[in-house]
Amino acid sequence: MELNYAIFRSEPIMTIPDLAQIGSHNKREKKAYQSNKDIKIELSKNNIELVPLDMKYTKGFDKLTKEYKKEHEERMKTERADRKKRYHEMLNSSKNCVADELIFTATHTFFDGMSREQIKEWADTCMEFVYKDLGYKKEQILHATVHLDELTPHVHCVVVPLVKKLDKRTNTERYTISKKQYIRDKIHLSQLQDMYHKSLTEKGYDLERGIKGSDNKHIKIKEYKQLTKKLNHELNAKSDRLDKAMSEFEEQMKTNKKIPFDNKHVILEKETFDSMNNVINESKKVMELQPKLQTIFNKVDGYANSYKYLEKENFRYKKEIDNLESKNNDLEMRNNSLLNRIYYVFQMLKKFLRKLLQRGNDYTKDETSKFIKNCYDEQEFDMNDVVGISRGTTKQDELFDYVEAPDYLKSRVKDYDEYEKDKDDFEMSL
């Protein structure tokens, strides 16, 4: 009988772009999935929403963490200009993950013959584990869905481990995203996998505990054959001893004289009696070994099947990763080209704004000053940008004070204009 295994994985999501990509996959926002041939997009309508999300992952994340974002923005108001970071920028550069993806599934044959309703009952048990054993609250679940449009049904549950922790430096409680509050390390994860298996079996699901340390090197086919060969050899040796004992006993019975007996007693020669005892003892040894061997055979066979399943999953993920890496390289090249263009436009914009401050009328200068302040507040300009645009103009003091430029920069203002060399590029009528 083939054994089925309960499988539970935890995969951290480190950046907001990664979260957006996973959201696109989990919510099936593409029309086709060339990198994963197992996805049958025509069956996606059968997928089950356990915790629905009616918006993009990034918007859902911002809504879920709005208090954290508000706290961060308040802190940035008093931060040095060169240390200020936008909310997403801060999260992406942090060593902490922004979310955690919990994946629940089982060996493919476990789902054979299951209806959609029965699969949902199994998925609900998985979510009970998320709430009860992992300790997540409903408001920390960004999205949870059951994919029925792939080869093996599985649950994707994306959680945001947002917690408040004591900041020892300021002695105040601050928001942070900390997966370690729920899954401390690999040892704890293994313990949680034990608990997950227990929660399933208590609900009557016939599943084995997933292989411990399944991230370790798999048993090679050669090793598997050596192990089964050794077990077979041990069983054959005991069977041979039993056959020999049986033969000796039969010979004794042939050569033995007629056995006298009455209603209460049987009289045997000692050699015959010893042979009979030998047969009984050897039979017991074989009988004692048989269930042990069968258990070992079943486990090894189950491990082999589970490893085959994991290897197949890993192979599929590897293909998807290779495809994504190729696309990422292409996107990186395009992104670098786009960044160069944006940088050029950005420099032109700063020069254009400076010309407005130099040549515009009072209204134009006031509106330009407001625009520059807004760009600074949105962290599109830093202090050095504002200083470079405004120095030597009538709006210099106002803008220098707004960005809290140090006094030594004010004293260095000269008649020389570093932008004048480009004035031919910006002749305009105001």
- Which residues of the chain are modeled with pLDDT < 70? 1-3, 31-37, 210-236, 238-239, 242, 245-246, 248-313, 316, 410-430
What is the sign of the dihedral through the CA atoms of 140, 143, 146 and 151? negative
pLDDT value at position 233?
Answer: 67
pLDDT value at position 132?
Answer: 93
pLDDT value at position 206?
Answer: 81
CB count in 10 Å sphere of residue 99: 29
pLDDT value at position 1?
Answer: 45
pLDDT value at position 375?
Answer: 87
Pick from 192, 209, 194, 195: nearest CA to 106: 209
pLDDT digits 0-9 by tens, 282-339: 666 666 656 655 555 555 655 566 666 666 667 767 777 777 777 777 777 887 887 7
Pick from 147, 161, 142: nearest CA to 52: 142
CB 349 within 8 A of CB 386: no
pLDDT value at position 3?
Answer: 66
